[in-house]
């Protein structure tokens, strides 16, 4: 399976970020806690040089808690502030305002020395598609002020959002890098739904996920779908299709539909808390 996806609006988004970076004090980068490295965009480090940085391990409720803590320590060791959040349910959101102030303490003190008082921190919210930026902004603001969607690419243009007298946020569209140099990264992004399913082969993607789960989380699929264990991912897809009565033309098994169910269950956390990569500490 080969991944290559860079819609035109993402080139525009990168240019927009370059134009607006001088206006902001802090970059808040959302990553998916299940794939914290693969869901980072290398462009952001380049664009954000010299700015205060905060990394949010979003969807932390879907990832293993042990590895959430390990990833938070990993990012802190690299000089970032790092916080675990669950934007959809509000977990960790209350602490964000104080973390933003902590991240920008140097800037605030510098302003004070210059006689500039009460200037709000301006933060840019960035991240790849479908990582939960709009949901995070809405949770932080306490109202639906940014569009949300469960498909990549819902946020198309920039918008400033005033949270309070201390913080203003700049929302930006999700951006991906022009090509995946490591196809393994593309695969993990496809697993979590950051690449549009319409351009992927669902059955092949489901088979790849089964390979990973059999290796890293043995027994999870057997328990979830009440199926016998199998090393062959396509046999496993057949078993899931039987278990979930996925049929075409009466009695033929619909393994494509079974793969779709598997991917939906993984993305929704219904297979349990699963992390697809571990930090090298």
pLDDT value at residue 203: 94
Q: What is the pTM of this model?
A: 0.86
Q: Which residues pair with 171 in a beta bridge?
A: 125, 159
Cα-Cα end-to-end distance for the chain: 30
Cα 45 from Cα 160, distance rounded (Å): 22
> 134: which residues sit within 8 A by CB, 6+ positions away?
146, 147, 148, 149, 154, 155, 171
Task: Give the tokens for residue 183.
Answer: 């196809």
CA-CA distance, 271 to 281, in Å (whole number)?
27
pLDDT of the residue at 15: 78
What does the pLDDT read at residue 173?
63
Q: Per-10-residue mean pLDDT for the chain, 281 residues long?
A: 59 76 90 95 83 95 97 94 91 88 88 86 87 87 59 56 85 63 85 78 94 96 94 96 92 94 97 96 65
């Amino acid at each position: 399976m080969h991944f290559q996806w860079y819609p035109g609006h993402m080139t525009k988004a990168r240019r927009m970020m370059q134009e607006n970076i001088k206006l902001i004090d802090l970059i808040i980068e959302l990553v998916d806690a299940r794939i914290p490295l693969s869901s980072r965009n290398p462009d952001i480090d380049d664009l954000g040089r010299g700015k205060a940085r905060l990394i949010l391990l979003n969807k932390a409720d879907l990832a293993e808690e042990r590895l959430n803590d390990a990833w938070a320590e990993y990012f802190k060791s690299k000089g970032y502030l790092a916080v675990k959040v669950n934007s959809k349910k509000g977990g960790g959101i209350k602490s964000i305002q104080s973390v933003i102030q902590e991240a920008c303490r140097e800037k605030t003190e510098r302003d004070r020395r210059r006689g500039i008082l009460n200037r709000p921190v301006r933060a840019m919210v960035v991240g790849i598609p479908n990582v939960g930026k709009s949901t995070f902004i809405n949770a932080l603001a306490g109202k639906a002020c940014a569009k949300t969607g469960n498909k990549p690419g819902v946020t198309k243009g920039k918008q400033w959002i005033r949270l309070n007298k201390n913080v203003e946020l700049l929302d930006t569209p999700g951006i991906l890098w022009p090509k995946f140099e490591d196809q393994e990264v593309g695969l993990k992004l496809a697993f979590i739904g950051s690449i549009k399913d319409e351009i992927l082969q669902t059955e092949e993607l489901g088979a790849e996920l089964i390979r990973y789960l059999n290796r890293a989380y043995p027994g999870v699929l057997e328990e979830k779908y009440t199926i016998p264990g199998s090393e062959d991912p396509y046999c496993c897809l057949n078993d899931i299709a039987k278990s979930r009565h996925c049929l075409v033309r009466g009695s033929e098994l619909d393994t494509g539909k079974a793969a779709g169910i598997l991917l939906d269950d993984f993305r929704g956390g219904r297979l349990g808390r699963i992390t697809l990569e571990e930090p090298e500490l």
